[in-house]
Amino acid sequence: MKEIKHFINGDHVASQSGRTFENRNPVDNSLIARVHEAGQAEVDAAVSAAQAALNGPWGRMTLKDRAELLNRVADRITERFDEFLDAECKDTGKPYAMASTVDIPRGAANFKAFAEMLANEPTDAFRMDTPDGLGALNIGQRRPKGVIAVISPWNLPLLLMTFKVAPALACGNTVVVKPSEETPSTAALLGEVMNECGVPPGVYNVVHGFGPNSAGEYLTAHKAVNAITFTGETRTGQIIMQAAAIGLRDISMELGGKNPGVVFADCDLDKAIEGTMRSAFLNCGQVCLGTERVYVERPIFERFVERLRARVAELRIGRPQDEGVDFGPLVSQQHRKKVLSYYQLAVDEGATVVIGGGVPDMGDELNEGAWIEPTIWTGLADDARVIREEIFGPCCHIRPFDTEEEVIALANDTDYGLAAAIWTENSARAIRVAEQVNAGIVWVNSWYLRDLRTSFGGAKRSGIGREGGTYSLDFYTELKNICIKL
């Protein structure tokens, strides 16, 4: 049986306690590996290794040399593409068609992008007058923040983990990564790549485990961790925020969402249908930016519902590696129980089930997997729990609206504020509505279109801080001003 150990100071390390947990494939619930669970000893060792690396060759390395190493890491991920693809799809069950075009390429691209961004980031310099007339010069300098705790989610494991690790390392920090217990494989595999590329021991460390009384709690509470970055659900973010308050450690958190899609009658209906299909059902709906609330202007409401239903019926469910498959399982049996509870709740709250609402019969050993039907509802009240709470599954509710003012109020009637999508061919309306929707990112006539130089993050209960571009560089560095009297 395969074992996944911790990666500490350049070595694969077993847990001193001997405790392990199972890593299962959500496609058929088969056992992939046993994963070592970190205790306090492993977390202490990982943080100590990261501290030592800051004071060693990594801390003395020039920006140019760091950038070359990170570019080498990106190239090596690409060279080992098939291994990363296989590991990612076994952990998540997602189709090869998605992981091979999104997860693995973006996981590699993050290293190149942030290495280049930092190399091209200008330094502030200000000349100032002084009473003696000679003046002074102020020079801005970015310094690494130190040891960064990276806690990454299971829905896009490699992509979202490297979206944090890449800028952290580019800025000269060291990291201790705690991947989701559901998806440990690619974080472990990246440790091998770091060694192969010559990244000094202790720069990149990985500890596996859970949250409370396990790796997550021990890492976020560790006094020698200088900053914490987390992507995941809002309740966990609140717990991490409390831990970060001890010692006043900096935090960056991208949390949950209950994102609206707004479809005006003047939209290009083909684009709106395809865009909503992706935003509601890509990755089995397990995307923080996904659309669970869809508002459609009344003149096209019935046509939109029927066309979206027809497109959902065309989704091909199956094994990740099979040709043409575009819909996989949820990440685990446990998560399926949660999503199915919302499917039942929707019915209890009075929803009309347009399509789906249950578990498909896969007809073979795949019935042991975490499969679920993509689902559309209509007819729920605006205060229904299914409308208010994040489900994180392949589902959406569609509601008609009559006026622009009404739909803006509906879109903003949520505790969350991560993302939104607007579909209209009226550019003035697009800008007007986008400016009034309270979300960290608003797409117009597209969805999940990302430039890594732009800000990424949410409002309200969807997070604190921003990542991407200079916003990542600001989080992963301490800004110092050097004032030189002339």
My answer on whether 236 and 367 are in the same domain is: no
- Of the pLDDT bands very low, low, confident and very high (cuts 50, 70, 90), residue 59 is very high
Catalytic residue selected from 284, 288, 395, 396 = 288
At 439-459, the pLDDT tens digits run: 999 999 999 999 988 999 999
d(CA 230, CA 153): 8
My answer on whether 170 and 70 are in the same domain is: yes
Size of the chain, expressed as the number of residues it contains: 486
Residue 40 CB-density burial (10 A; 0-12 exposed, 13-18 middle, 19+ buried): middle
Given CA atoms 357, 363, 366, 369 in this order, what sign does their dihedral have?
A: positive
d(CA 216, CA 184): 13
The DSSP secondary-structure symbol of 33 reads E
Catalytic residue selected from 181, 182, 217, 254 = 254
At 184-212, the pLDDT tens digits run: 999 999 999 999 999 999 999 999 999 99
My answer on whether 230 and 335 are in the same domain is: no
My answer on whether 193 and 83 are in the same domain is: yes
The CATH number of residue 289's host domain is 3.40.309.10
**Looking at residue 465, what is its pLDDT?**
94
At 333-387, the pLDDT tens digits run: 999 999 999 999 999 999 999 999 999 999 889 999 999 999 999 999 999 999 9
My answer on whether 223 and 333 are in the same domain is: no
The CATH number of residue 73's host domain is 3.40.605.10
Tokens 């021991």 — which residue?
A: 201
**Looking at residue 440, what is its pLDDT?**
97
Residue 486 CB-density burial (10 A; 0-12 exposed, 13-18 middle, 19+ buried): exposed
Q: What's the domain count of the chain?
A: 2
My answer on whether 292 and 231 are in the same domain is: no
Task: Mark whether 288 is an active-site residue.
Answer: yes
My answer on whether 309 and 191 are in the same domain is: no
The answer to whether 151 and 187 have CB atoms below 8 angstroms apart is no
Please indicate, yes or no, if residue 457 is contained in any of the structural domains: no
User: What range defines the domain where residue 106 resides?
Assistant: 3-255+462-485
Please indicate, yes or no, if residue 391 is contained in any of the structural domains: yes
Task: Mark whether 83 is an active-site residue.
Answer: no
Average pLDDT of the segment spanning 170-178: 97
At 394-430, the pLDDT tens digits run: 999 999 999 999 999 999 999 999 999 999 999 999 9
Please indicate, yes or no, if residue 93 is contained in any of the structural domains: yes
My answer on whether 205 and 346 are in the same domain is: no
My answer on whether 83 and 115 are in the same domain is: yes
DSSP 241-281: HHHHHTTT-EEEEE----EEEEE-TTS-HHHHHHHHHHHHH
- Of the pLDDT bands very low, low, confident and very high (cuts 50, 70, 90), residue 118 is confident
Please indicate, yes or no, if residue 445 is contained in any of the structural domains: yes
Please indicate, yes or no, if residue 238 is contained in any of the structural domains: yes
Please indicate, yes or no, if residue 334 is contained in any of the structural domains: yes
- Of 51, 214, 237, 18, give the one whose Cα is nearest residue 145: 51
My answer on whether 130 and 150 are in the same domain is: yes
My answer on whether 160 and 205 are in the same domain is: yes
Please indicate, yes or no, if residue 456 is contained in any of the structural domains: no
My answer on whether 264 and 251 are in the same domain is: no
For residue 121, pLDDT over 90 is answered with no
Tokens 């790796």 — which residue?
A: 215
